[in-house]
């Protein structure tokens, strides 16, 4: 079998299984969040797999991401919620992309993009304590009154009301839910009765049943990764979808005292075998994990040695027999005995979300 020089293989069956798991767990609609190229997994392929398994809607951050999905032939309900200042919405409206609305100005821009026979679908976002985007409580009355008027005259279709949680603690999230419910009640007082209310992402969908409402937005869980530090994906019933692998590009037998990579941060303490792995920080391998990054070679786990470079890093395999072209699994499903994205996150002092999302465009994705 020929081992790819570098490759991220995406298990679409795992993505589908994860969607089915969240449907069974929550009993509500699943919105599959495929922003940032589906957290690095490939947006169109992920969207199709998620929809085939019962996801009813898709979510992305920005309109260009939504337009690209439409170009790829994905026609499911699709929402984009993060907009540039002064952004116009005509192109989005023409492609039936629903808009997250966080201000009066955005509401007006959405209405301006409507046509006589095509109201623009919107989800009104309430600020409930995360201090990011969302309609501020002081503006709820003004925005809701205008939204209700625009819906009555056929300029808007208010699809949803939503917000986002901080995941700080259960108490903090329940306080955010209480604030959100105030917003929902305020909307009802203006005659706004949306199709769906959604506030829970993966963590709250799992741990806080009262947050599930009409739909849950599943991002990191879609890809089989745990949002928790104290529970693995397997413990949550999830299957990691991405395996990052490469092939050994060089094998070198060296004596004790040999310097490795830039700056000689590492020198060998014995006669040993060094192998070169052709991925580096240009491919998303975190440089700050140098000397700690775990990989699997020949069924054994090793850590890299020396500094991770732009295109490559070195692993000391001791006396393990290896050859050029042998497979290196950088991370994948830990139930198969390989390092996980969470292991990489621990080595880099970050989160598994960042590890998979940062894998660069030079790494081909192979979905199957």
Question: Which sequence positions are flagged as catalytic?
Answer: 35, 262
Instruction: Write the CB contacts of 137 (distance below 8 Å, at least 6 apart in sequence).
Output: 126, 127, 179, 182, 183
Residues 14 and 41: their CA atoms lie apart, in Å, by 12
Decide: 263 and 307 in contact? Cβ < 8 Å.
Answer: yes
Q: Tokens for 184?
A: 């929902």
Decide: 260 and 275 in contact? Cβ < 8 Å.
Answer: no
Torsion angle of the four alpha carbons 284, 351, 200, 9, in this order, in degrees rounded to the nearest 10: 40
Rounded to whole angstroms, the maximal C-alpha distance in the chain is 80
Instruction: Write the CB contacts of 67 (distance below 8 Å, at least 6 apart in sequence).
Output: 91, 92, 95, 97
Instruction: Write the CB contacts of 19 (distance below 8 Å, at least 6 apart in sequence).
Output: 30, 32, 49, 50, 53, 54, 55, 218, 222
| Local structure of residue 271 (DSSP, 8 states) | S
């Amino acid at each position: 079998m020929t081992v790819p020089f570098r490759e991220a293989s995406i298990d679409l069956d795992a993505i589908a299984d994860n969607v089915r798991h969240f449907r069974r767990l929550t009993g509500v609609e699943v919105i599959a969040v495929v922003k940032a190229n589906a957290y690095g997994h490939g947006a169109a392929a992920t969207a199709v797999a998620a929809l085939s398994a019962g996801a009813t809607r898709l979510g992305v951050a920005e309109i260009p991401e939504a337009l690209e999905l439409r170009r790829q032939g994905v026609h499911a309900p699709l929402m984009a919620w993060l907009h540039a200042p002064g952004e116009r919405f005509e192109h989005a409206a023409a492609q039936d992309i629903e808009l997250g609305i966080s201000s009066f100005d955005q509401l007006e821009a959405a209405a301006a993009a409507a046509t006589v026979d095509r109201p623009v679908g919107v989800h009104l976002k309430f600020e409930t304590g995360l201090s990011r985007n969302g309609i501020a409580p002081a503006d709820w009355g003004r925005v809701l009154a205008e939204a209700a008027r625009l819906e009555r005259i056929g300029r808007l279709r208010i699809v949803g009301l939503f917000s986002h949680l901080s995941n700080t603690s259960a108490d903090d999230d329940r306080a955010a839910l209480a604030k959100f419910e105030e917003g929902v009640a305020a909307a009802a007082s203006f005659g706004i009765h949306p199709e769906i209310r959604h506030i829970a992402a993966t963590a709250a969908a799992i741990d806080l049943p009262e947050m599930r409402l009409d739909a849950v937005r599943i991002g990191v869980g879609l890809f089989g990764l745990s949002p928790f530090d104290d529970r693995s994906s397997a413990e949550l019933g999830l299957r990691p979808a991405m395996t990052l692998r490469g092939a050994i590009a060089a094998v070198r037998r060296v004596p004790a005292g040999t310097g490795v990579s830039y700056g000689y941060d590492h020198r060998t303490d014995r006669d040993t075998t060094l192998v070169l792995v052709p991925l580096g920080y240009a491919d998303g391998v975190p440089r700050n994990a140098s000397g700690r990054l775990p990989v699997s070679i020949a069924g054994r786990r090793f850590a890299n040695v020396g500094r991770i470079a732009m295109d490559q890093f070195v692993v000391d395999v001791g006396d393990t027999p290896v050859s050029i072209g042998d497979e290196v699994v950088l991370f994948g499903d830990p139930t198969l005995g390989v390092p996980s994205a969470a292991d990489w996150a621990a080595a880099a002092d970050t989160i598994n979300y960042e590890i998979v999302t940062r894998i660069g465009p030079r790494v081909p994705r192979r979905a199957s």
